[in-house]
Amino acid sequence: MKLIKSIISVLFSAILILSATTTSSIAIDKLHFVIGGGAGGGWDGTARGTGEALTKAGMLGSASFENMSGGGGGKALAYLINNKPENTILVQSTPLVLRSITRHKGYVTGDDVLSYKDVTPIAGVIGDYGAIAVAKDSPFQNFADVVAAYKKDPKSVKMAGGSVRGSMDHLIGALAFQEAGANPNDVIYVPYDAGGKALAGLLSGETQILSTGLGEVMGARDQVRIIGITAPERVSDAPEVPTLKEQGFDVQFVNWRGFFGPPGMDKGMKKKIAKMLGDVQKTPEWEAVRKRNAWVNIYNPDKKFVKFLKTQTKEMTALMKKLGVI
């Protein structure tokens, strides 16, 4: 668990205690958000939530959004790299680091691997705890029930996630099962195109549990029960939700999400967007979005973001080797 706690310490070192100030001046007229997954996923929620807060706070004139699914985010990355669109940013997260570690082939001609080095890191903005959820009518009341059913019949428990095997959703679930004494590579993982479809798979009975981000299921609590999260303690925005740790499964992790520009992005524009993403976290408009999703405020701009990405690459490589993913 030292490795996992090390990852957490790096992430939480970026958390800021933000003062409550507001701004009424528009920093940027328009911004287009490219989302590498389908509707209802963590990237989708982060992009749209950020755009909502920025426009309502009066910092951004208008925000537009485009879902560009494919290749676990690779299609959207390739679009940004190949087209270098202006006034356009891409939302990404830990999977951007994971894909470079696993040597996941992308869509760029002549390039085998896409990573954060191929685009322009602007800023990390939020953290989202991992969550294990079940349908409201599920017989599983806690994660121990899931483990018991799995040990009795491994084929009886299928785990849904909003991206490919080796993604964050897969790894969070794998960590939980490993902590329970199971071989994480034997767990049946069913990948879907983003959290919305993964949730639909759970509710239809195609799978028995869902591994996702807490923010992705906060709005679906009338349909699901969240039986465990990867926070070190219960979170104030969802105090009824138990942690995996309190149930005897010491799995702690928080997934960052942030924004990237195309390669060769204008430095002035990058600086302006980075500042705006930090300033908005001081507003009540942002707090309303953050609370709704139970996010953790993280603000890592520019060089601090790059340094963090380098550190996480080393740590996630060790973690994935431990899980047998690579």
- Residue 112 pLDDT: 54
Q: How many CA atoms lie within 13 A of 168 on its CB side?
A: 28
Residue 246 has pLDDT above 50, yes or no: yes
Q: Which residue has the higher pLDDT, 65 or 298?
A: 65
Q: Which residue has the higher pLDDT, 269 or 220?
A: 269
Residue 180 has pLDDT above 80, yes or no: yes
CB-count exposure of residue 144 (10 Å: 0-12, 13-18, 19+): middle
Which of 226, 248, 253, 246 shows the shortest CA–CA distance to 237? 226
At 197 the three-state DSSP class reads helix
What pLDDT band is residue 11 in, cutting at 50, 70 and 90?
Answer: low
- Cβ neighbours of residue 303 under 8 Å, at least 6 residues apart? none
- Residue 326 pLDDT: 67
Around Cβ 151, how many Cβ atoms within 10 Å? 12
Distances (CA, A) of 96 to 54, 100, 123, 189: 24, 7, 14, 20
For residue range 105-117, list pLDDT tens digits in order. Answer: 444 444 556 778 8
- Residue 81 pLDDT: 92
Is the Cβ–Cβ distance between 200 and 191 less than 8 Å?
A: no
For residue range 141-162, list pLDDT tens digits in order. Answer: 999 999 999 988 988 999 998 8
Is the Cβ–Cβ distance between 251 and 4 less than 8 Å?
A: yes
What domains appear along the chain, each with residue ranges and CATH number? 2-128+255-323 (3.40.190.150), 129-247 (3.40.190.10)
- Residue 317 pLDDT: 81
Which of 59, 105, 94 shows the shortest CA–CA distance to 283? 59
Distance CA 172, CA 104 (A): 19
Most confident of 38-47, 146-155, 264-273, 302-311: 264-273
Around Cβ 46, how many Cβ atoms within 10 Å? 27
Around Cβ 8, how many Cβ atoms within 10 Å? 18
Residue 60 has pLDDT above 60, yes or no: yes
DSSP 116-168: GGGSEEEEEEEEEEEEEEEETT-S--SHHHHHHHHHH-GGG-EEEESS-TTSH
- Residue 304 pLDDT: 92
Least confident of 61-70, 173-182, 292-301: 173-182
Q: What is the mean pLDDT of the chain?
A: 85
Distance CA 219, CA 209 (A): 17
